[in-house]
Chains A and B, each alone.
Chain A
Amino acid sequence: MSTIFDEIKDAIVDGDEDLAVELAERVIAEKVDPVQAVQLGFIGGIEEVGKAWTNGEAFLPDVMMAADAMKAGMDVLEEVLAAGEGDGGYEDKGKIVLGTVEGDIHDIGKNIVGALLTSAGFKVYDIGIDQKAEEFVAKADEVGAKIIAASALLTTTMKSQKTLVEYLNDNNLRDKYKIIIGGGPTSAKWGEDIGADGWAETADEAVELCKQLLA
């Protein structure tokens, strides 16, 4: 007989957002252990998809839909998890504020980075495109994020990544957050030049980077 954990896992693997939410609601209604639901169900599912993606068996829509389903289900469970219900308690791997910088409206790469970070167990707050430094920081402050991740696809908007670092410096907030940057025209050198904490060329490298920074 399959357990609700298996059902959740399958819902995630199928990228079925509605079902993931429904199952999360059942977890609460039937007083199932939420931590186990997360570990065995949601994380179990996303890990399976992640592995298949790394092996080249799954494709981006599989990963991104799984990440969306996971996010939707976890949002339902957020309250009971925060209340510390369940065996051992659950904590995400870290909160990350993600956005595309001011003047830039490219968002495909950012969305992919967000999905892969989510699937790796980070809690991602995506603030969207064309965002000012203060908006990144306000969100990070609000949710208690440890990492701020800024995407820029134009040589003309890369300087907004610099502005972000400077904004934190000017407000004596630099030590509070790790800043990572990425996007087509950026480079490791640019990251160093502006004093960011890290740069990644691709979304999976972004995941590794965040793991290292929070280790």
Chain B
Amino acid sequence: MLPKFDVLTDEQINKIHKNSMRILKEIGIEFSYDPVIEIFKKHGQRVEGHRVFLEPDFVEEMVEKAPAQFTLHARNPEHNLVCGDGNTIYMPGYGAPFIYDADGGKRDATMADYDNFVKLAGASKNIHMTGGTVVEPTDVPDDIRHLKMAYSHITNSDKCFMGSSSGYEFARDSIEMTAILHGGLDVIKEKPALICLINSVTPLKYDDRMLGGLMAYAETGQPMVIASLVMAGSTGPATMAGALSLQNAEVLAGITLAQCINPGTPVVYGSTSTASDMSTGSLSIGNPENALFASASAQLSRFYGVPCRGGGGLSDAKTVDAQAGYESMMVLFAASTTGVNFVLHTAGILQYYMAMSYEKFMVDDEIAGMVLRYLKGFDCDSDEKMAFDVIKTVGPGGHFLTQKHTRKNFKTEFFRPALSDRQSFDAWAKDGLDTNQRAKARWQEVLANYTAPELDADVKAKIEAFIEKRTKELIK
């Protein structure tokens, strides 16, 4: 595996760390949820109303308790994932309310789209888990969306997935469903199987719903990504160092809280900080600043000894065009090569998280494959790989196409594109399809050929019974 490169010097890391500690101690951070205030009081931290002022020593002590890595368990153990330890985990985009289609159309996302993206993620060899809230299924009432979404992940794939963090109750529902899938709450307490996304409210706040979610996951020992999205220039300072310090303060406060609730509970240090578009105030994500924030966050999380989330196949484009490609490659490549472990939003996102696109998903899947290959780097471990003998056999002026060594090695050494066109001009010109059109044909083909891995009928029935019971309770 490739060594991860750094974007900050040790001195810069120290300055950011100190600045964040100063923010937490002198400015403090607001938690709207009363039970959380009690927790901080109990740990001897200064509290004024809902604002908590955290002592640097205390924060460091708590962050220390978080594990450097953990295993997330899938229904099929072949898909278990180690989060941390230099690994890179890819998954679909998260939370988009719209679908943009190949010919430029825009529509509301539905549950059918949801199932499709889970299947595409299930089918992909580059996408390691099926993610969470892969689109907002707007045709499902929001009281029960979290149940339907979890059901989709459970039945359409056997890879790891994410659960709801929208308040304590919904979070508990997703945890219960995962518990049924794995044979009980005790089982997943031992072997974590569900992860969620907790967001701070930048600048310097955490709201009730997220804190409720945080408590549910921490109590049951399920991992969570604790993330901050600083929109530098609007919800945060316009300097990179300032925005990074602010993000760092928020994430550390969240991790501290999780460790207070359940020492040792697995957390992921999350960042989606980026630059605002200063003409319109709009979020923008396909930019070098976002890439830098992701890389710096990976480095900070190494400094704190926890895994990192950041980056993705991120773009502000509205359709699968050159912009969609170059922006996504930049952010995904930077995040992956600098050591981000958990890459939410790897595939499908267009227009600053507003939309998912099937074609974009296939393009990002290809990008992910290319980056994963790059991350494997060079294998110099054997004579076979150093290839002296075959170089000697061929000698000056020959070629390697008919060597056994070639046939044996190229498949594992080279990336093989699934989408990129490498034909001659004439061969390409016969249909003349651009990436967007090829991607459309490709996802349709993948979906048509997909069969979901079988789920034990008894487990399935139990999960369905749970959904039915909860639906009755939630929809009055």
Task: Mark out the residues of chain B between 355 and 402 whose CB falls within 8 Å of any chain A CB in the assembled complex.
Answer: none
Report whether A105 and B97 are in contact in the complex, using a CB–CB cutoff of 8 Å: no
| Neighbouring A residues of B276 by C-beta, 8 Å | 60
Q: Does B449 contact A (CB under 8 A)?
A: no
Task: Mark out the residues of chain B between 102 and 124 whose CB falls within 8 Å of any chain A CB in the assembled complex.
Answer: 108
Given the known interface contacts A155-B97, A185-B97, the answer about A109 and B281 at a Cβ–Cβ threshold of 8 Å is yes
Q: Does A61 contact B (CB under 8 A)?
A: yes
| Neighbouring A residues of B233 by C-beta, 8 Å | 61
Among the listed B136, B234, B278, B281, which residue makes an inter-chain contact with A155, where contact means beta carbons less than 8 Å apart?
B136
- Chain B contributes a number of interface residues (CB within 8 A of A) equal to 18
In whole angstroms, what is the CA distance A61 to B279 when docked?
Answer: 8
Report whether A112 and B281 are in contact in the complex, using a CB–CB cutoff of 8 Å: yes
Q: Does A3 contact B (CB under 8 A)?
A: no
Task: Mark out the residues of chain A between 28 and 68 whose CB falls within 8 Å of any chain B CB in the assembled complex.
Answer: 53, 56, 59-61
| Neighbouring B residues of A202 by C-beta, 8 Å | 280
For chain A, the bracket of interface size reads 10 to 19
Q: Does B7 contact A (CB under 8 A)?
A: no
In whole angstroms, what is the CA distance A60 to B97 when docked?
Answer: 26
Report whether B201 and A203 are in contact in the complex, using a CB–CB cutoff of 8 Å: no
| Neighbouring B residues of A60 by C-beta, 8 Å | 234, 276, 278-281
Label chain B's interface by main secondary structure: loop
Report whether B354 and A184 are in contact in the complex, using a CB–CB cutoff of 8 Å: yes
In whole angstroms, what is the CA distance A16 to B233 when docked?
Answer: 19
In whole angstroms, what is the CA distance A61 to B231 when docked?
Answer: 14
Given the known interface contacts A155-B97, A184-B97, A184-B354, the answer about A108 and B142 at a Cβ–Cβ threshold of 8 Å is no
| Neighbouring B residues of A105 by C-beta, 8 Å | 201, 207
B302 to chain A, nearest CB (A): 31
Q: Does B138 contact A (CB under 8 A)?
A: yes
| Neighbouring B residues of A59 by C-beta, 8 Å | 278-279
Report whether A203 and B280 are in contact in the complex, using a CB–CB cutoff of 8 Å: yes
| Neighbouring A residues of B235 by C-beta, 8 Å | 108
Taking each of B207, B276, B281, which has the highest tally of chain A beta carbons within 10 Å of its own beta carbon?
B281
| Neighbouring B residues of A212 by C-beta, 8 Å | none
Kindly list 17 other residue pairs between chains A and B, CB separation below 8 angstroms, not including A60-B276, A60-B278, A60-B281. Answer: A56-B279, A59-B278, A60-B280, A105-B201, A105-B207, A108-B231, A155-B97, A155-B108, A155-B136, A155-B142, A156-B142, A184-B97, A185-B97, A185-B98, A185-B136, A202-B280, A203-B281
